[in-house]
Structures are given as structure tokens and as C-alpha cells.
Structure 1
């Protein structure tokens, strides 16, 4: 296990901690004094941390979390107060880096995910919610239009009615309610530990296969007919059976089956 900050140890403004456990990179947005608020600097650090994880061939999955007690309590309001489109896009780069990550990603939501923090959670493939998790869009009450692709992500994650309840009507969801409406996969006692356990399963798969499968899922999600999905999958599946990873795992499975079929003495 290795841990390193994305900035120098003397930097107390905020950082993104990078920790590697097995083949899982855990990226922790860390500025607890500001409840891990997202600004252009933090977004750049997050982008760099995701890029570093993807570039590491030994990493097979990524967990995104926040320094307790929050996941991410939104954008930096001081910076937002005079933000122009260019600055807003710079903040969005952090969400987009997570959303576009080719590796499997899990959000370990350990506390409030507010505004930009909800964006960060939605950018991940899967979300797990700890006991202190709260999901609060909070854009309209601040007089702020949603950004960062929030409306698109929310609609795809929970459908039009729940997206409207969160966005237009100010519904705030705890972990149990977020699970009920499908915003998170599960409510768990320890979001980080549960995310690490789940991410390890993804990371144990051949890395190229996981990347290809995630890319395929993104393509087939927009298709209208199963037969079209078959045509997308058939080439990738045929390629996978020619790989050493498949042959080795198939041989191991066949040997295990053969051993289980042997009579006991």
C-alpha cells in the first residue's frame, strides 16, 4: 500500500491524496476545513490524480472519496461569485476526468455530497453511501443554475421524476432513501471499505478487458436494439478468447471442476 499527496506536504490549502491498495487507486479529495469544496485548483489536482492512476498499469480500478466529515460540500462560493464560463469549465474538468476515466470507478460517499459534490459522485460508475451521506443538489436555493453536466447525469442516474425532485424541489436524500431511488447501489456501514472491496473485484479482472468492457457498455447504452449490441460485442468477445488471460483462467477453472469431480477416498 502506498500513499502520496498530489501536492507538496507544506501545502495546506487542499490536496488530493493518492493511495494504492493492491490494484485499486483510492483518491481522496482533502480540504476538511472547507469540507472538501471543489475549486479550479482542486479540480486540477483531481484531474492529475485520475490521469496518474490511469497511467499506472498496475491500477485496475479507482475509488473516489472525501476527507471526513464530508464527501464534497460543493463548489468554492468565493470563486463562484465572479466565475465566467472559462473558470467554470476549469472546475468541470475534475468531474469530467472522473466521468471519462476508462477504468471502473466507485464513489465512496462518506458524508454530504452537495452541488459540485453531487456531480463528483454522479461522475462515478457506482456509488456507495455511508451512514453520514447526504445528497443535496442545492443549486436553485443558491440562485445558481446547475453545471458540470449535472442535469444530464442526474436524469440518467435516477430518471426524470427523481432528478426533478432533487433539482427543482430541493429534496435531500439520506443513504437509505438514495438507495431506494437508485441514486446509490447500496447504503453501507463503511463506504470506503465497501468501495475498496468492490473495486478490488473489478481490479482483479484483466485490465484491458475491464477497460474494453466499460467502453462497450457506454456504446451499447445508446443503442435501440439488442441485435445492434450483439454486433458491438461479438468482435470484442472474439478478441478476448484469444488472450492469454482467458486461456489461463479457463484452464484453472477446468482443473478446479475436474478436482471437484474426483471421488473422495
Structure 2
């Protein structure tokens, strides 16, 4: 299985971010949260981007957190896993809130 990722496509002044993990209903694995956070921050600083569209590949937008990766991580590092997951989701929420451009979930 390939690593879940966030694909980026430009359509003029619109940046399309695609959560590309359809086998898991585009659940937010740590790599996806980090990829979305990075892309949102870069887009916010790019004057050539006027708006951002976030969508999921396939039939689902996003199933939420990936419970399997959370359980696997908790089994090996219980407390640290929770702290890291919460920090990653918080960073994504901060990036969305701080973005000065319209962000559309489609």
C-alpha cells in the first residue's frame, strides 16, 4: 500500500488540495494532516493563489481521524502517540484558521 498523500493541482489562481487515500476513505493519517498543514501555509504566503479547494479522492471527502494508525501508534507509544496526534490536528486547525484566503471543502 502506498503512503497516503495530499496531491496539489493549480487551476489558474485556485489551488486544489486532494486528500489521496481513498482506500481508507481519506482518513486523516499523520502524513495527510502534515501535508495539508504545509500546503495551506505555503498557499497562504503565495500571492498568486487566490483561493484553496480541499477535496477527497474517490467517493468520500474525509472519514476523520485514521483510527487504525492511532491504535497502532498507541500500542507502541501510548502517551506520546496521543500528544503527537493532537498536536498534528491542532496544527492543521491553526493553518486553516490563519489562512487569509477562502478555503472551500468540496
Secondary structure of the residue that 1:62 maps to in structure 2? strand
Q: TM-score, normalised by structure 2?
A: 0.81
Per-residue deviation at 1:86? 3.2
Q: 2:100 aligns with which of 99, 102, 110?
A: 102
Unaligned runs of 5+ residues in structure 1 are: 1-10, 109-265
Deviations 1:178-219 (A, max 9, x none): xxxxxxxxxxxxxxxxxxxxxxxxxxxxxxxxxxxxxxxxxx
Q: How does 1:92-241 map to 2 (within 5 A)?
A: 92-108=90-106
Structure 2 residue 41 is matched with structure 1 residue 51? yes
Structure 2 residue 23 is matched with structure 1 residue 12? no
Q: Distance in 2 between matches of 1:84 and 1:48?
A: 21
Q: Cα 1:53–1:106, aligned 2, differ >3 Å: closer, same or farther? A: same
Unaligned runs of 5+ residues in structure 2 are: 75-80
Q: TM-score, normalised by structure 1?
A: 0.35
Deviant stretches of 4+, over 3 Å: none
What corresponds to 2:89 in structure 1? Answer: 91
What corresponds to 2:16 in structure 1? Answer: 26
What corresponds to 1:218 in structure 2? Answer: none
The structure with the largest alpha-carbon Rg is 1
Per-residue deviation at 1:53? 1.4
Structure 2 residue 67 is matched with structure 1 residue 77? yes
Secondary structure of the residue that 2:65 maps to in structure 1? coil
The answer to whether the Cα contact below 8 Å between 1:39 and 1:91 also exists between their aligned partners in 2 is no
Structure 2 residue 51 is matched with structure 1 residue 61? yes
Q: Greater strand percent: which structure?
A: 2
Aligned residues: 98
Secondary structure of the residue that 1:84 maps to in structure 2? helix
Q: Distance in 2 between matches of 1:97 and 1:12?
A: 26
Higher relative contact order (CA 8 A, sep 6+): 2
Q: Distance in 1 between matches of 2:58 and 2:93?
A: 20
Secondary structure of the residue that 1:18 maps to in structure 2? strand
